[in-house]
Structure 1
Amino acid sequence: MADTATTASVAAASAANASTDAPPFQLGKPRFQQTSFYGRFRHFLDIIDPRTLFVTERRLREAVQLLEDSKHGTLRPGVTNEQLWSAQKIKQAILHPDTNEKIFMPFRMSGYVPFGGTIVVGLLVPHQKLASPVFWLWLNQSHNARVDYANRNATKPSPMSKFIQGYLGAVISAVSIGVSLKVLVQKANKFTPTTRLLVQRFTLLPSIASANICNLVLMRYGELEEGIDVLDGDGNCVGSSRIAARHALLETALTQVVLPMPVLVVPPIILSMLEKTALLQARPWLLLPVQSLLCLAACGLALLLAISLFPQMSEIETSQLEPEIARATSSPTVVYNKGL
């Protein structure tokens, strides 16, 4: 009788899974292939989904419990692949993959567009006084510093003193670079007011890109000193590698260069064209709402393009790592969490 009930439960679960388009669930594995840009794009589309910001504590506990049941083979009958993928999406969006601790809402990747996009609007609004861009540059790099720290590789403990040192260095470098470029533009008397405004908007690109890299390196410098854990094909840690840490920071730095491009280039171009339309000339109060929408859309697109360049769990040949790590495993490649 028990065998009949078990068979019926398995059949019901199979039928439920067959009724969806979701691929078979694999615990801890991405739903979409990470070997292609499109697969990573779809994967990170789930990661930055702002709807996960509204997941309740109870729903998070249920998602984590469902994944634990899957891990131990104790799933209740009728649970579908779609439900399991949804549970994993919620967990990945809210909990850090290395520490399993909740990431504070504004510093999650799913919070980057609603929180970071608002700051970008402040950066792109024309400023008459120097204090205004200084404030927005400080706020932008403060937000970036916390995002970098919250989504770092956390396989090694990092003291708060290092975070404070890195934060101060990152903010000072960011504000110094941004203000220096702005002052240079303001002193360029040969530009017409319109041209000067456009140049001021575009000078944000090199200043923020370079500041982002300074921010990243200073916030995660501890990884270069102590290394990060590398895992074999079975998920076992085979050592801590400084070489893997350099690869992780290089990949993340490239995303930091790409990230501000669409945000700081596309909205000013579109807005400069829209400003000439009869609609906005007759209703100048619409400029700020239009600019805000453009910035939020560009911010979402830029984030997806940037973080999709590399998989979060990156792979490296064991022969490229330290000799002691190469001797510790027979696996030809190992993986590491590069952070986001």
Structure 2
Amino acid sequence: MSLEQEEEAQPGRLLGGSDAGAYFVEPNVRFWINERQVHPGPGAESIENLRQLLCTNEDASRSALEDQRIQEAWKRSLSTVHPDSSNLIPNLFRPAAFLPFMVPAVFFSMMPPKGIASMILPKVYLYAYLTAFSIINGNRSYTCHPLERSFLGVAAFASSSFIGLIPNFIQMRFSLNTFFMKRIVPAAVHGQVSGMNVFTSRSLETTKGIAVMDKEGHVLGHSKIAGQKAIRETTVSRGVLLGTSALIPEVFTVFFKRTPFSRTNAGSLWIWKLACTVASMGLMLPISFSLFPQVGRIQCSQLEEDIQSLTEETELFYHRGL
């Protein structure tokens, strides 16, 4: 089943829709424009009722935000509902699921290769999940055939997996065991390929354009320039997240191996490295997600002329995606 079909198959399509006329009533977008906040915590049950509450309280993002029920409604809506399609995000690809799914992928993909299977499987798992996460959480304000998005997903997964394996093949072929080749190069490639994965899997946003909105959330048109900016920001965010999360455990592991404790407890090395991976990714995840706002701002003068002619506002907004 394609990603487009999976999205349509989600039970209980929520308020709003993918048509342009529905954007100005989408609660998530209006919240981000007014409050300039990024994803809060994980979602929970009764999302439909909470979304109804938000839509019936027009000033919820301002005057009623202090009310505990409204706060909980915003928290669950922002973390479980896609702001472009108003569909539920699958549980496995919500922001709260990113850390538990990515920690083992990063940990095993940075382990010294001991065979073809141990080298390939972690990379396949890593980039398969990254590709699906990027597509599902990307901008969905444009229309395209499901096969287009599926083809890009396959291309992003295949190219990322192949390039990500190059440092491992080099190590196995030439037996290069220096710190630079074993630690630094794989971590750097890890970050670069992760960013490339975002760029490839979401490249339709640069060719079809994404919706740009005024401060009230009304869609003025679709801009390829805004799409390029959204992908560029997300590419940097993803590269910083996974590149740093892969590098920090490798550096700290070198120092840990020199301690007397590690010499007398061989198994403690992998426990230490896993703990460092969890800690570094747990620290970098909120940092990378907050590098750029979820709803970005762009000067109207930088956009296409047909969009500039539709408004007198100097600043417009777009959904960046994750």
Q: TM-score range by the shorter chain?
A: 0.7 to 0.9
Aligned equivalent of 2:147, options 135, 138, 161? 161
In structure 2, the residue matched to 1:258 is 240
Report Cα offsets for 1:146-183 as digits up to 9, x if no partner: 11011111111343312322122222222222222222
Shift of 1:145: 0.5
- Is 2:304 aligned against 1:302? no
Conservation of the 8 A alpha-carbon contact between 2:29 and 2:319: no
In structure 2, the residue matched to 1:70 is 57
Structure 1 gaps, min length 5: 1-25, 35-42
Taking structure 1 as reference, are residues 334 and 31 closer, same or farther at Cα in structure 2, changes over 3 Å only?
A: closer
Write out aligned runs for 1:119-130 (5 A).
119-130=105-116
Distance 2:102 2:144 in 1: 25
Aligned equivalent of 1:28, options 30, 43, 48? 30
Shift of 1:243: 1.1
Conservation of the 8 A alpha-carbon contact between 2:209 and 2:227: yes
Taking structure 1 as reference, are residues 30 and 326 closer, same or farther at Cα in structure 2, changes over 3 Å only?
A: closer
Shift of 1:31: 10
1:71 aligned partner, one-letter code:
E
Larger mean CA deviation between 205-214 and 246-255 belongs to: 205-214
1:285 aligned partner, one-letter code:
G
Report Cα offsets for 1:65-101 as digits up to 9, x if no partner: 331332388xxxx994343222201111111111121
Shift of 1:188: 4.2
Distance 1:85 1:289 in 2: 38
For residue 240 of structure 1, give the secondary structure of its aligned residue in structure 2. Answer: strand
Write out aligned runs for 1:30-179 (5 A).
30=32, 34=36, 43-44=37-38, 47=40, 49=41, 52=42, 55=44, 57-58=45-46, 60-71=47-58, 80-179=66-165
Shift of 1:108: 1.1
Distance 2:85 2:158 in 1: 30
TM-score between the two structures when normalised by the length of structure 2: 0.82
Distance 1:87 1:279 in 2: 49
Conservation of the 8 A alpha-carbon contact between 2:300 and 2:313: yes
In structure 2, the residue matched to 1:23 is none
Higher relative contact order (Cα pairs below 8 Å, separated by 6+ residues): 2
What percent identity do the matched residue pairs reach? 22
Distance 1:286 1:217 in 2: 38
Structure 2 gaps, min length 5: 1-27
Q: Provide the aligned length of Structure 1 versus Structure 2.
A: 292
Q: RMSD between aligned alpha carbons?
A: 2.6
The structure with more radius of gyration: 1
Write out aligned runs for 1:221-236 (5 A).
221-236=203-218
